Amino acid sequence: MRCVQELVSLFVLAIASNITVVGGTTRFDQEAADMELELRRPQRSWTNIVFTTIANEIVDAGIARDLTEAFVLVIPAFAYHNLLPREEGVDVSFDSDTGIDGGTGYPGHPNAGTSSSVVALA
């Protein structure tokens, strides 16, 4: 199952590299935030319908056991490309042109550093 998860993760990364904006509804998830508070560090937890839909499809296909495991396959790719929905007034950026490996893009990604057409995911 780990090999399939790796392939799905790379597939999602390829999709994310061609997207400019993630649409859908993003909402504060109070229940998840309350769980985080038990760790003595207040955290904000947000859910987005696009990510939840993708994660549900991964779970339904039997690739992940639950939504948490599916989110691990989905969210890092979108985070790498600065596509996570943000709280109003918070500016967080990551230079994906230089990447986390010093300039070649996402480590191991076959299209790292190449340009491609861009689309919005809603």
Strand stretches in 1-111, DSSP E: 19-22, 26-28, 46-48
| pLDDT value of residue 40 | 57
Dihedral of the alpha carbons of 69, 75, 80, 83, in degrees to the nearest 10 = 180
Task: Compute mean pLDDT per 10 residues along the chain, 122 residues long, and list them.
Answer: 92 92 74 54 71 94 96 93 71 47 41 41 53
Please answer whether residues 73 and 63 qualify as being in contact, where contact means their C-beta atoms are separated by less than 8 angstroms: yes
Domain boundaries, the chain: 2-121
